[in-house]
């Protein structure tokens, strides 16, 4: 038996046995979306063992994009490619033969996790995207007529120049991919250059200090002009062009288009039907802030859940949003793993156990067998 939530004064909720949808994104480098979903489910089941859990890890195109899709469709393949600092790395991709569609993830080839250590100004300048070009070439060679590239989590800010070079330059790449539908699965709407561009907004996250940001910006200005000329229109100014250090702009210049990475995953995981059938949605990510509500998993999921009047609880590594913003976005409540763990460091180094513990704690606040609790 399942009872829909009863909303009362003080945001009171009452359930008996629930159908609970567990649909987190990845938690940075600490947990993949699949690992996070497993941890949340373990904690929840510990307190509410009778609940029916539906496990549906999500991605917005960043780290975990391939891992999530590999569990739903296609064949998982592996390839040795050049990492962001030119060392070889083993990258995974998915090929769905019936639809002749390949699903790639730039983080597999040039992600921050591939640096082998924390990002620095040196790595921010040196990191490149040639490995992504190698993955695209392999997908085309395998017979893919549609290639979906998940963007996000990159260590590079080269505007996709490495990718283009790997494919034989702008003219060579366009010829090589003639007849291939190219999709950039984006999680941001930033252009390539300017105050909201790849270098200024995301460069510091990749280890760039102010001087390095200025150098990266100047490189992108020059490269952006080349991309615009080759494409015949201002691809560098398009929303999503700045995704993954500007790989979005390179894909647009090759005739691609941007689509929501979260929407692509939602379609393939049957998220809409899962939400409609749920009594409660549990989701999360590494840092829940304003960006989370614009093109990323939690924002898209909360909007869909609100239309079905299903409450959403966020279990994030850190929470940087106030209650009013949460409710306006359709989020019932948000809890931080860092607060539960007592420190950000413990939340990161012992992520799975701490997330499991937080999940159990939140489940206990809801109570069991129809008990009423305040979130």
Model confidence pLDDT, tens digit, residues 117-168: 999 999 999 999 999 999 999 999 999 999 999 998 999 999 999 999 999 9
Pairing of β 88-96 and β 75-82: antiparallel
Of all residues in the chain, the percent with pLDDT exceeding 70 is: 93
Structure confidence at residue 370 (pLDDT): 39
pLDDT at 373: 39
For residue 1, the model assigns a pLDDT of: 27
* 373 compared with 302, residue with greater pLDDT: 302
Confidence band of 4 (pLDDT split at 50, 70, 90): very low
pLDDT greater than 70 at residue 219:
yes
- Is residue 375 predicted with pLDDT exceeding 80? no
Question: What pLDDT, on the 0 to 100 scale, is given for residue 295?
Answer: 67
Q: Is the pLDDT of residue 5 over 60?
A: no
Strands 146-150 and 257-260: unpaired
How does pLDDT run across 185-212, given as a tens digit for each residue? 987 889 999 999 999 999 999 999 999 9
For domain 65-262, which architecture applies? Alpha-Beta Complex (3.90)
Mean pLDDT of the chain: 90
- Across the range 32-47, mean pLDDT stands at 95
**Nearest residue to 259 via CA among 97, 107, 146:** 146
Query: Who has greater pLDDT, 82 or 73?
Result: 82
Model-level pTM? 0.84
List pLDDT tens digits, range 237-252: 999 999 999 999 999 9
The predicted pLDDT at position 15 comes to: 54
* Cα 80 to Cα 72: distance, rounded to the nearest angstrom: 24
280: buried, middle or exposed (CB in 10 Å: 19+, 13-18, 0-12)?
buried
pLDDT of residue 93: 97
Q: Please determine, looking at this structure, whether the domain spanning 12-56+270-374 carries the CATH number 3.30.200.20.
A: no
Q: Which residues in 211-242 are b (16+ Cβ under 10 Å) and which e? A: ebbebbbebbbebbeebbebbeeebbbbebbb
pLDDT at 368: 52
Is pLDDT above 90 for 234? yes
pLDDT at 371: 35
Q: Are 243 and 236 in contact (CB under 8 A)?
A: no
pLDDT at residue 70, rounded to an integer = 87
Beta bridge partners of 54: 21
Per-domain residue ranges of the chain: 12-56+270-374, 65-262
Residue (of 38, 51, 31) closest to 363 by Cα position = 51
Burial state string for 322-344 with b = 16 or more CB within 10 A and e = fewer than 16: eeeebeebbbbbbbbbbebbeee
Better pLDDT: 365 or 4? 365
**If you average pLDDT over residues 162-182, what whole number do you get?**
96
Q: For the chain, how many helices (H) and strands (E)?
A: 16, 15
The pLDDT value recorded for residue 367 is 67
Q: What is the pLDDT of residue 191?
A: 97
> Nearest to residue 213, comparing CAs of 221, 223, 201, 222?
201
Q: What is the pLDDT of residue 29?
A: 81
Is the backbone of residue 6 left (phi > 0), alpha (psi -120 to 50) or beta?
A: beta
């Amino acid at each position: 038996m399942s009872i829909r939530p009863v909303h009362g004064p003080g945001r009171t909720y009452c359930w008996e046995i629930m159908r609970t949808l567990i649909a987190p994104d990845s938690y940075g480098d600490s947990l993949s979306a699949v690992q996070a979903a497993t941890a949340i489910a373990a904690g929840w089941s510990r307190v509410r063992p009778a609940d029916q859990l539906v496990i549906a890890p999500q991605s917005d195109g960043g780290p975990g994009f391939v891992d999530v899709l590999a569990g739903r469709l296609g064949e998982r393949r592996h390839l040795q490619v050049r990492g962001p600092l030119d060392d070889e790395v083993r990258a995974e991709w998915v090929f769905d033969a019936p639809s002749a569609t390949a699903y790639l993830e730039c983080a597999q080839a040039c992600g921050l996790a591939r640096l082998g250590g924390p990002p620095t100004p040196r790595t921010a300048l040196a990191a490149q995207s040639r490995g992504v070009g190698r993955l695209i070439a392999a997908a085309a060679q395998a017979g893919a007529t549609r290639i979906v590239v998940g963007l996000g989590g990159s260590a590079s800010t080269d505007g996709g120049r490495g990718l283009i070079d790997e494919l034989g330059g702008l003219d060579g790449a366009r010829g090589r991919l003639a007849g291939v539908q190219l999709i950039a699965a984006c999680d941001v709407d930033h252009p390539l250059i300017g105050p909201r561009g790849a270098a200024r907004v995301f460069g510091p996250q990749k280890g760039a200090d102010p001087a390095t940001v200025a150098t990266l910006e100047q490189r992108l200005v020059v490269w952006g002009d080349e991309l615009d000329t080759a494409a015949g229109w201002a691809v560098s100014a398009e929303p999503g062009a700045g995704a993954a250090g500007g790989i979005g702009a390179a894909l647009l210049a090759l005739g691609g288009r941007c689509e929501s990475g979260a929407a692509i995953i939602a379609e393939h995981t049957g998220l809409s039907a899962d939400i409609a059938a749920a009594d409660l949605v549990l989701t999360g990510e590494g840092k829940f802030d304003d960006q989370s509500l614009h093109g990323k998993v939690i924002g898209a999921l909360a909007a869909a859940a609100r239309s079905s009047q299903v409450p959403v609880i966020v279990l994030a590594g850190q929470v940087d949003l106030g209650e009013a913003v949460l409710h306006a976005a359709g989020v019932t409540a948000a809890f931080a793993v860092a607060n539960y763990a007592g420190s950000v460091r413990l939340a990161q180094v012992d992520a799975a156990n701490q997330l499991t513990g937080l999940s159990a704690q939140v489940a206990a606040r809801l109570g069991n067998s129809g008990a009423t609790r305040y979130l």
